[in-house]
A and B are shown apart, each in its own frame.
Chain A
Amino acid sequence: MILQVEGLGKRFGGLQALEDVTFDLPEGQILGLIGPNGAGKTTLFNNISGVYTPTAGRVIFRGEDITGLKSYYVARKGMARTHQIVRPLKELSVLENVMVGACFGQYDYKLGKAKEIAHEVLEFVGLESRIDQLAGSLNVGQKKRLEMARSLASQPNLLLLDEVLAGLNPSEISYMVEIVKRIRAERGITIIMIEHVMHAVMNVSDRMVVLDYGRQLAEGTPDEVSQNPKVIEAYLGDPKLAEKLMASGGE
């Protein structure tokens, strides 16, 4: 198991944002994390990656308890993530943005080697023509790819992707889905992927976890999850989403 989440809870004042979330993630798998808006998906990422300290439970990463460890130490242990709302280092070039990922990740590369890795990763995500551009001047789709490149440059063992498909057009979505598949296939990186684009996440995930109001509603293969009555019920509050979920489950 590369990651074990045990009874994880997070309370913000009066709001129980996460409660008793428990799952294991074997190495090399892609785990889809779904749930309605506000379910606590991003909060779960924040608690796993050290941005927040959980109020209950434990996070075990590569056999080591990392609960409450600062985000920069978690990064240096081989975990990388992207942000739902992109966070480019605006006044730095695309290349420099990606070099930061390589320089300060678990391998602590020197500038020269980091530059090499950055070039390779930027080509992988299709941003090689933008290398000298300032990151702030990219469009949304490119910024999402930059987030991806930055996290890949750190050569992580586990990659947390927070809605990398949101806001992309259909052709960009299929491009990105292809990249996600290749990350696992070619680099052997384990992935947790938060996604609203159901057909995409069902298509790439080995297993899925469903959150609703901070609670873990279901866990299983994409097929199991999409046929789970509790999941269907939860999504009934949002008929459009339920419909989407059903449609993709039947594919």
Chain B
Amino acid sequence: MSIPTQTKASPPSRTITAVLKEYAGLLIPIGVVLFIIAWPTITGKDISREAMFTVLLSIALASSLNILLGYSGYVSFGHVVFFGLGGYVGFYLMSVHEWLLWPAMAAGGVSSGLLAFLLGKAILRLRGGYFALATIGINEAIRAAINNFTPFGGPVGMTLNFQVYKNYGGASEALWLSFYTLAAMTLIVITVSYFVRTSKFGLGLLAIREDEDAAEIMGVIAPNAKTWAYVLSAIIPGVLGVLFFFKNGSIEPLPAFRLHFSIEMIVMVMLGGQGTVLGPIIGGLGYQSLRGFLLTSPIFKNIQLAVAGALLLLIILFIPSGIVGWLRKRVPALRRVLR
């Protein structure tokens, strides 16, 4: 009898706290990203919008990669292939067939997802280093193919007619539009990442990461689960490739399939904490801040990649679970709120 009265007496704020607690793992990452999104408006500077564009792009790509790398334990070294391929497909549709940005982005995402699906069955059989090598090989092969593919402009690539931006209210408006489109995509990928992490599908992925054979013996259909993780992690990079090159105005094989970019994504995931929702956000923000600092320093300007490599090595040696992973281990109370 006392139970119903208790529920009646408990103020609604209690249930709100309960919900906040339950979804803290989602709300904290969303809060951090919203703050980054608001930063250019807070400072009122175009330059900070450009800086935050890079940060958000990093966060979204790192979070996508994390679904494969962090949750399933498969290291995709050539993940930039999805960014490049999606970018090319969307760019082609925009420049040759005069598609608008958003359907072109969708097409970019679909093509990358499709590529991952087809590749998945073939190369996800490979484990550890062999898988990583295969992903590099695929990136190089696709870049070479596009280099020789005349509809996509071959080695010269393609450019957007400047008039195109008129559809979006002018070049300056298009920059803001790109920023807010990216912001929305980043929020989506983080939400997806959270729901994968806390779902049954995600539990299967984590089991695969820890011990694939043991997971299979418990009934996890690993080949399917891995393929879907790969597809999910490929879609957003494909979508964002279109957005990035739309804003850029041109696309070429070399910048679209730059392996360096792939390595940076891995560094960001590892730095922040693989396998967590918040990790890639902290990693993307941290890495880009560091890079911004290094770029202004004349000594480091030319050895960025070496610095990224050294950073990766230091992380793997000293904090293999990344910043968020380290915090979760050190402070058990944080495990409930940091996902």
- Is A90 an interface residue when CB atoms closer than 8 A count as contact? yes
Among A11-19, A99-107, A182-190, A242-250, the stretch that binds chain B is A99-107
Bound-complex Cα distance A91 to B275 (A):
10
A residues 97-119 in Cβ contact with B at 8 Å:
99-101, 103-106, 110-111, 114
- Is A207 an interface residue when CB atoms closer than 8 A count as contact? no
- When distances are taken between beta carbons in the complex, the residues of chain B under 8 Å from A41 are none
Bound-complex Cα distance A105 to B218 (A):
6
Main secondary structure of the interface of B (DSSP, over half): helix
Q: How many residues of chain A have a CB within 8 Å of chain B?
A: 31
Please tell me if the beta carbons of A72 and B207 are within 8 angstroms of each other in the complex.
Answer: no
- Is A230 an interface residue when CB atoms closer than 8 A count as contact? no
Please tell me if the beta carbons of B204 and A87 are within 8 angstroms of each other in the complex.
Answer: no
- When distances are taken between beta carbons in the complex, the residues of chain A under 8 Å from B213 are 51, 71, 87
Please tell me if the beta carbons of A100 and B199 are within 8 angstroms of each other in the complex.
Answer: no
Number of residue pairs A-B, CB distance < 8 angstroms: 73
Please tell me if the beta carbons of A103 and B200 are within 8 angstroms of each other in the complex.
Answer: yes
Closest Cβ of chain A to B219, distance in Å, is 3
- When distances are taken between beta carbons in the complex, the residues of chain B under 8 Å from A83 are 214
Chain A positions within 8 Å of B, measured between CB atoms, are: 49, 51, 70-73, 75-76, 80-81, 83, 87-92, 96, 99-101, 103-106, 110-111, 114, 150-151, 154
- Is B242 an interface residue when CB atoms closer than 8 A count as contact? no
Closest Cβ of chain B to A79, distance in Å, is 9
B residues 186-233 in Cβ contact with A at 8 Å:
199-200, 203-204, 206-207, 209-211, 213-222
- When distances are taken between beta carbons in the complex, the residues of chain B under 8 Å from A103 are 200, 203-204
Known contacts A89-B210, A89-B211; A100/B220 CB under 8 A: yes
Most chain A beta-carbon neighbours within 10 Å: one of B204, B218, B275: B218
Closest Cβ of chain B to A75, distance in Å, is 4
Q: State which of B207, B221, B275 has its C-beta within 8 Å of the C-beta of A100.
A: B207
Bound-complex Cα distance A89 to B199 (A):
17
Q: How many residues of chain B have a CB within 8 Å of chain A?
A: 20
Please tell me if the beta carbons of A89 and B217 are within 8 angstroms of each other in the complex.
Answer: no
Most chain B beta-carbon neighbours within 10 Å: one of A90, A101, A103, A105: A103
- When distances are taken between beta carbons in the complex, the residues of chain B under 8 Å from A75 are 216-219
Most chain A beta-carbon neighbours within 10 Å: one of B199, B219, B275: B219
Q: Beyond the given A71-B213, A87-B213, A89-B214, could you list 4 further A-B residue pairs with CB under 8 A, ordered by the A residue number?
A: A70-B216, A103-B200, A104-B215, A111-B203
Closest Cβ of chain A to B244, distance in Å, is 34
Most chain B beta-carbon neighbours within 10 Å: one of A100, A101, A151: A100
Please tell me if the beta carbons of A72 and B210 are within 8 angstroms of each other in the complex.
Answer: no
Please tell me if the beta carbons of A51 and B203 are within 8 angstroms of each other in the complex.
Answer: no
Residue of B nearest to A111 (CB): B200
Bound-complex Cα distance A58 to B101 (A):
58
Please tell me if the beta carbons of A87 and B203 are within 8 angstroms of each other in the complex.
Answer: no
- When distances are taken between beta carbons in the complex, the residues of chain B under 8 Å from A100 are 203-204, 207, 215, 218, 220
- When distances are taken between beta carbons in the complex, the residues of chain A under 8 Å from B211 are 87-89
Closest Cβ of chain B to A157, distance in Å, is 13
Please tell me if the beta carbons of A49 and B217 are within 8 angstroms of each other in the complex.
Answer: yes
Please tell me if the beta carbons of B206 and A96 are within 8 angstroms of each other in the complex.
Answer: yes
Bound-complex Cα distance A60 to B109 (A):
45
- When distances are taken between beta carbons in the complex, the residues of chain B under 8 Å from A92 are 206-207, 210
Most chain B beta-carbon neighbours within 10 Å: one of A71, A90, A96: A71
- When distances are taken between beta carbons in the complex, the residues of chain B under 8 Å from A73 are 221
Residue of A nearest to B214 (CB): A87
29 contacts between A and B (CB under 8 A): A49-B217, A51-B217, A70-B216, A71-B216, A72-B216, A72-B217, A72-B219, A73-B221, A75-B219, A80-B218, A81-B217, A87-B211, A88-B210, A89-B214, A89-B215, A91-B206, A91-B209, A92-B210, A96-B203, A101-B218, A103-B203, A104-B207, A104-B220, A104-B221, A106-B219, A111-B199, A111-B203, A114-B200, A154-B219
